[in-house]
Amino acid sequence: MKRAIPVWAILGITACEPQNLDLNSDSGAALDDVTAISAAFSDTAAFDDIGSFSDDDTAADDTAAEPEPARPDPFAPRTDTTEGLVNTDRDLMAVLEDGRLQGACDRYAADPTNRRKELLCGKEMFFYEGFGTEGVPRGLVDILLRSFDDEVFGEGFEEYGLVPDPTSPDGYPLGMALSHDEQSLVFTCASCHFAPMADGRYAVGAPNHNYRYGEHNLAFALFPIVATWGLTGPVDPLAQEKLRPLMDAYWADIGAQAQLVGWMLSMMGEEIPEFSAENQRHYAEWLPGTMDFFIEPLPIDDGVHTVSKIQGLWGIPTSQEVDEAGMDHAMLGCTGNTRSLNNFARAFASLGGGHAEAWGPDEVAPLVAYIESLDAPEPPRTDRAAAARGEALFFSQGCIDCHSGPRGSGLTLYSFEEIGTDDTMRYWMDPEADGTNIPGVDMGEDQVTNALKSPRLVGLWAMEHFLHNGAVSSLDDLLCMYGERPASTLDAMGNDGHTYGCDTLSWQEKEDLIAYLESH
């Protein structure tokens, strides 16, 4: 059913490309077999800081069976294609290229053969391009930030997990940029895929697992009508509790009350979209760094509550790597349905209320080139001996069987029955799970799969959510280091499944495997 959606109630559809979860790696040369691993370490520079086994550990048995053919190394180092751009640094202005992003696309248009200018344009798009999607009215954002920054939101919504933009004269965050008509704030790639890491560095492509997306959007969609008009339907108690700090600050500030009422009066005549108490509760329950971006009151509601975590954008395979790995396509998204970054940008524009036809391959080429240049930052520390032992386990315990593609991604899709994880994602954009997406939504060549992919396995050391829905909070829990995971009771956020290694590895082996997974 189509509804008129008022611009103030359009929540930003964020570009979240579900990728890295369970087991990961980053290594050097291909291994003939596990017994030959020390030779591979000595021959490969990528393993220099991990270490190697002793001769006694790797001596081959003369009577052993013929080793299997060597597999291509999914974690072989890539050629640096960043053209010197700063994508990871403790200095935020350095990551923002010291103010050189503004106007970068204009400079590239004047010099279209310059690779560095192309990447700078792509980086400008990453931080500031909303692709014509609907956004949050600028007037509402200004009221929230100017009236409640200290008590509730912090500077640039930093209390909700966003990073203030030091170049914004209006105090807006990175990831929310002015629309082309400057009447609204639209969400950009940086809202979900740019974050400070635990070691204090900012990183482009990092999954923003601090972002309280559900609460942020309750502030945009639910707070204004609860504070001024009330709702025609019930308000979910948990959603109301999430809004309590904002409501308390609002009732204590007469000036803010006058501003909000005035703004709401200016929006008279706009239709209020449906926002059921059930869906309000979903927004309130989502963990930081997780979301469902096809649910009311968003422009498209697929009729199913599914939850996915925000994913890292590091190491997305290029078309050449896709061909070399024998993949059908890049398999982006946790269901592996999106064939390429070009398609993802088109879908972001289309499903967010923009015009997909305005964003063809040529228009998004700088952004695609920039994202394809992103690699996971080096971890701050590595236990070399433990990581070396974990390398052997990664191969001998079969992790490589599902994670043999570029950066540990899979080469095929898997059923929910096989992986055992929460299966509500099976119905994403397809409530009947019959392989047909919901009517009225043009997904182009990217069709629903009703399945899961194996994600890329780089940068896991910087992540706080695992499994496709983010329901597991650490690699320790993923490998059941402290016993069976306590069951989650939250809708669409079950934390069971993917128990590989839980019962077959010792405590020490799990520690070694985690050291290896976090060494990239």
What is the per-residue burial (b if ≥16 Cβ within 10 Å, else e) of 15-32?
Answer: bbbbbbbbbbbbbbbebb
User: Residue 186 above 80 pLDDT?
Assistant: yes
Neighbours of 445 (CB within 10 A): 10
For residues 153 and 191, what is the distance between their CA atoms, to the nearest angstrom? 15
Query: How confident is the model over 312-363, as pLDDT tens digits?
Result: 999 999 999 999 999 999 999 999 999 999 998 888 887 777 777 888 899 9
pTM for the model stands at 0.86
- The residue among 242, 285, 62, 25 whose CA lies nearest residue 152 is 242
Q: Where are the beta strands (DSSP E) in 247-397?
A: 290-291, 308-309
For residues 186 and 194, what is the distance between their CA atoms, to the nearest angstrom? 16
Share of the chain above pLDDT 70, in %: 86
- The residue among 420, 382, 397, 409 whose CA lies nearest residue 510 is 397
Q: Is 21 helix (H, G, I), strand (E, B) or coil?
A: coil
Compute the average pLDDT of residues 111-136: 95
Copy the structure tokens of residue 162.
């966003």
In a domain, 223, yes or no: no
Directed axis angle between helix 507-517 and helix 384-396, to 10°?
A: 100
In a domain, 8, yes or no: no
In a domain, 358, yes or no: no
What are the two backbone dihedrals, phi and then psi, of residue 82, each rounded to the nearest 5 degrees?
-80, -10
For residues 470 and 290, what is the distance between their CA atoms, to the nearest angstrom? 7
In a domain, 370, yes or no: no
Neighbours of 298 (CB within 10 A): 24
CATH number of the domain bearing residue 466: 1.10.760
On whether the CB atoms of residues 277 and 462 are closer than 8 A, the answer is no
Query: How confident is the model over 209-225, as pLDDT tens digits?
Result: 999 999 999 999 999 98
Q: Residues near 384 by Cβ (< 8 Å), separated by ≥ 6?
A: 49, 50, 51
For residues 394 and 313, what is the distance between their CA atoms, to the nearest angstrom? 23
Q: Where are the beta strands (DSSP E) in 282-420?
A: 290-291, 308-309, 413-414
Q: Residues near 323 by Cβ (< 8 Å), separated by ≥ 6?
A: none
CB burial of residue 270 (10 Å; 0-12, 13-18, 19+): middle
* 254: confidence class by pLDDT, cuts 50, 70, 90: very high
In a domain, 199, yes or no: no
For residues 280 and 292, what is the distance between their CA atoms, to the nearest angstrom? 12
In a domain, 77, yes or no: yes
Q: Where are the beta strands (DSSP E) in 114-193?
A: 136-137, 163-164, 173-174, 176-178, 184-187
Long-range contacts of 244-250 (CB under 8 A, 24+ apart): 245/151, 245/152, 246/148, 246/152, 246/219, 247/223, 249/147, 249/148, 249/151, 249/152, 250/147, 250/148, 250/223
Element (H, E) at 89: strand 88-89
Q: Which residue has the higher pLDDT, 2 or 518?
A: 518
DSSP state of 62: T
Query: How confident is the model over 53-62, as pLDDT tens digits?
Result: 333 443 444 4
In a domain, 464, yes or no: yes
For residues 161 and 211, what is the distance between their CA atoms, to the nearest angstrom? 4
Copy the structure tokens of residue 16.
């979240």
Residue 87: the pLDDT is 98
Residue 68: the pLDDT is 56
What are the two backbone dihedrals, phi and then psi, of residue 142, each rounded to the nearest 5 degrees?
-60, -40
* Enclosing domain of residue 438: 34-81+376-517
What are the two backbone dihedrals, phi and then psi, of residue 89, each rounded to the nearest 5 degrees?
-170, 155
Q: Is 128 helix (H, G, I), strand (E, B) or coil?
A: helix
Compute the average pLDDT of residues 74-102: 95
- The residue among 372, 390, 317 whose CA lies nearest residue 47 is 390
Q: Across the chain, what does the average pLDDT equal?
A: 86
User: Helices (H) and strands (E) in the chain — how many of each?
Assistant: 20, 12
* 300: confidence class by pLDDT, cuts 50, 70, 90: confident
- The residue among 287, 305, 285 whose CA lies nearest residue 295 is 305
Copy the structure tokens of residue 457.
């396995």
On whether the CB atoms of residues 163 and 427 are closer than 8 A, the answer is no
Question: Per mean pLDDT, which of 268-277, 292-301, 407-416 is the most reliable?
Answer: 407-416
Looking at the structure of the chain, the number of domains it has is 1
| Cα angle: 466, vertex 471, 476; to 5 degrees | 55
Residue 91: the pLDDT is 98
For residues 266 and 344, what is the distance between their CA atoms, to the nearest angstrom? 35
* 14: confidence class by pLDDT, cuts 50, 70, 90: very low
In a domain, 441, yes or no: yes
